[in-house]
Structure 1
Amino acid sequence: MRLQPLLLMAALTGASILPLQAHAMKCPTAIRGKLDAVGEGRRAYLEFNCAGCHGDSAGGSMGPGIKGAEQGDIQDAVLHGDAREGGMPSFKGCVTATDVKNIAAYLRSIGTGNEPHWLDWWNLIP
């Protein structure tokens, strides 16, 4: 009977985490089309919750660091998934070729001083 309280606690914990995950994927859409490729890449990186596994600055977290990754590598992992790295799912059908190109541009910009920051984005919303 000690299992019931544990199951209830696990269910409540899971229920409280799900809204956080859904919220993490929401990004300002009013700025679409107002950013360059790097800014759109940052937006897409957050929208598709890449930061959840790869870290906010792509240096790695529970997933590998992908800062500076090449577009072809990003495209392959995003469209086909990567079981080698702990089971990254495929995002085929969710992302466009432009999203992949922009995410790669953002990843290459990290650490150069040209990467976008949230404060810059909010200035673009009417």
Structure 2
Amino acid sequence: MTAQEQKVRLLTKWRSGGMCEVCAVQRATTFHHRLPEGQGGPWRSANGLHVCGDGTVGCHGWIEHHRARAYERGWLVHSWDDFYAVPALLRLHGGWVYLHWDGKTTTYDRRTSVWAP
């Protein structure tokens, strides 16, 4: 594990408090890349979610098996998108939020944003 990966995992766990950011019900067990690593997704806290399950079960599994819906919710982002500019629908954080490099979030406001889910 690289120093960057370790730092991002810690920031993401801090942001989630150990709970799944998607459902806010289960304990988070895995890191999910919004822009997949295989598509060039970097280790950045804004590019990751702390989620329950793995690639086959839980919220992580749901994201992998319902990719179109996951893109609509900001749980996945396209390679041409800027993951800092695409909000994610996260129950743990009260709805639509932007994810930041420092592990923090800010509320997405549809009235002032150019991005529309």
Greater helix fraction, Structure 1 or Structure 2: 1
TM-score (norm 1): 0.29
Larger Rg: 1
Greater strand fraction, Structure 1 or Structure 2: 2
TM-score (norm 2): 0.31
- Of structures 1 and 2, the one with the larger relative CO (CA 8 A, separation 6+) is 1
